[in-house]
Amino acid sequence: MGDLLTRFMENIVGRVHGPMNLRLLLQPLMATIFAFRDGRRDAREGKAPYFWALFTSADHRSDMLRDGWKSVGKIFIIALVLDAVYQFIAVKWFYPGEALVVAFILALVPYMLLRGPISRVFRVKTKH
Q: Is the pLDDT at 89 greater than 80, yes or no?
A: yes
The band of 110, judged by pLDDT with boundaries at 50, 70 and 90, is: very high
Looking at residue 78, its pLDDT comes to 92
Q: Give the predicted TM-score (pTM) of the model.
A: 0.82
pLDDT in tens, 19-64: 888 989 999 999 999 999 999 999 999 888 888 888 888 888 898 8
For range 77-95, the mean pLDDT: 92
Question: How many residues belong to the chain?
Answer: 128
User: In this predicted structure, what is the pLDDT of residue 16?
Assistant: 87
Predicted pLDDT at 66: 92
CB 97 within 8 A of CB 78: no
DSSP string across 82-119: HHHHHHHHHTSS--HHHHHHHHIIIIIHHHHHHHHHHH
Sequence-distant (≥ 6) Cβ neighbours of residue 13 within 8 angstroms: none
The proportion of the chain whose per-residue pLDDT surpasses 90, expressed as a percent, equals: 52
Distance between CA atoms of residues 109 and 114, nearest Å: 8
CA 92 – CA 75 distance, rounded (Å):
24
**Identity of residue 109:** V
